[in-house]
Amino acid sequence: MGAAGKILVSACLMGHAVRYDGKAKPLHHACLDRWQAEGRLVTICPEMSAGMPVPRPPAEIAEGRSGADVLSGRARVIEATGGDVTDGFRQAAENALRLALETGCTHALLIDGSPSCGSRRIYDGGFSGRKQDGEGVAAAILRRHGIRVFADHEIEALAAEIDGRPI
């Protein structure tokens, strides 16, 4: 598949302390180093791009819903403190999509579990630590526009697809 373009990557995976708790979740992998050296990585924290502070209260998509539900207006993103941050998460997703399209990203490598970037599993909205199958708001909008989204633990599959080799 050698025609792959750039890769949108969650800033926290690149070592930036931008998560809700003020921390990073750096992903150390030879492929990331190579892609960075090749100038293929485009880094974003969707929440920070929408002006959300660091640190900030943890947020989850309410009522066991998903990012697609947030985009369609059928679900809200709520902070553990009760604040409704749906509009911020929608703006964050739009910002991620705009950046991906403007920079020629064909793929995204996003931190799983996040109400923005989760692409396989997200928290169930009850702030109990339970996860469910689903995707966050940014992952949903990226997929809707044809960008291939991979979770951080799927970097080998992303590398295989980008390099055109079997896993």
Q: pLDDT for 94-132, tens place per residue?
A: 999 999 999 999 999 999 999 999 999 999 999 999 999
**Looking at residue 161, what is its pLDDT?**
93
**Looking at residue 163, what is its pLDDT?**
81
How many helices (H) and strands (E) the chain has is answered by 6, 8
- Residue 166 scores a pLDDT above 80: no
- Give the confidence band of 1 by pLDDT, cuts at 50, 70, 90: very low
b/e per residue 12-23 (b: at least 16 CB within 10 A): bbbebebbbeee
